[in-house]
Amino acid sequence: MTSNEILNILLISTASIAALAVIFGVGLAIASKVFAIDTDPRVDKILENLPGVNCGACGSAGCASLAEAIVKGEAPADACPVATETARKIIGEIMGAAVSQKERRVAVLLCNGGTRVDSKHHYSGVHDCLAASLLHGGAKQCDYGCLGLGTCVEACPFEALIMGGNGLPQVIEERCKACAKCAEACPKNLFVIQPLSKSVHVRCKSCDKGAVTKRNCSVGCIGCKKCEKECPVDAIKVDNFLAQIDYTKCISCGKCAKVCPQGCIADFRKARKAGVVIPSAAVCMAAQQPAQAARTA
């Protein structure tokens, strides 16, 4: 085969491929017009005002799915729990719907044990709280408390959780969007999402008898009922050896926190005012020490 014949074959092959490319390109262009689905321009405008992290806190698969649901009327304009008030207002204006202002909520950890709880066995498996909890409920003596492996920290899409030196995750409230991913990730169900106005929390979930709890954790609730007697609005009750707050009655006066002998009831007002990460055991305990010292004096 001569060089001219080879050149002709290459030219014919190239021309054939180019022709096919043109044919397919025209076909795709026609198909895109014929089968095009008109999208509501409001979807893109709403999507621009959503966080874009696809955290799923709204119950949708992602921000794009939520934007479509809002436009279709399948979700309210303020369906995104992590969007800012400004973003919710803009989405409401796009949809022509009134959006009421919501009180900001944050995650709260209901455990104060951490490094103050001894281990019952050595765990060397997967560094994950769920995996650790499958082995006899976890390595901690307290079966109800935080395992301290930081699964909640990894689950937070907003980097609002850090592991503290006390072996407990701490909430950076200025970053927290109340998406509840930490609550979903915790196998011990230790996280709750509460309004900022609710500043008093029982940081214990142990339902063991007082003597058992005290043996396992130096800061666990022993069900002594001192908080119950001190509350001026009957908002805290001890049930199943654990103090529980009725937030429909609670006025966040902090009196229960002051009389708690274990220091397991935390009043976050001072910490929040100081801008300290929450929960901070050091801040909570420091706030209670003067009152406890006065009672023992």
The amino acid at 15: A
Are 259 and 230 in contact by the 8 Å Cβ rule? The answer is yes
Report whether 204 contacts 112 (CB < 8 A). Answer: yes
Write the single-letter amino acid at 19.
Answer: A
Give pLDDT tens digits along the chain (297 positions): 677 777 777 788 888 888 889 888 888 888 777 776 667 899 999 999 999 989 888 889 899 999 999 999 999 999 998 998 899 999 999 999 988 888 899 999 999 999 999 999 889 899 999 999 999 999 999 999 999 999 999 999 999 999 999 999 999 998 999 999 999 999 999 999 999 999 999 999 999 999 999 999 999 999 999 999 999 999 999 999 999 999 999 999 999 999 999 999 999 988 888 777 665 444 444 444 444 444 344
The pLDDT, as a whole number, for residue 7 is 77
Instruction: Identify which of 147, 145, 112 has the alpha carbon closest to the alpha carbon of residue 267.
Output: 112
How many angstroms separate the most distant Cα atoms in the chain?
111
| Beta-carbon count within 10 A of 54 CB | 15
Q: Which residue has the tokens 């014929």?
A: 34
Domains of the chain are: 44-95 (1.10.15.40), 105-296 (3.30.70.20)
Sequence-distant (≥ 6) Cβ neighbours of residue 256 within 8 angstroms: 200, 227, 228, 230, 231, 236, 243, 245, 265
**AA letter at 148:** G
Tell me what pLDDT residue 36 has. Answer: 61
Tell me if 177 sits within 8 A of 82, measured CB to CB. Answer: yes
Contact 97, 70 (CB under 8 A): no
Q: Report the relative pairing of strands 105-109 and 191-195 from DSSP bridges.
A: antiparallel
Burial of 157 (0-12, 13-18, 19+ CB in 10 A): middle
pLDDT at 290: 47
SS3 197: coil
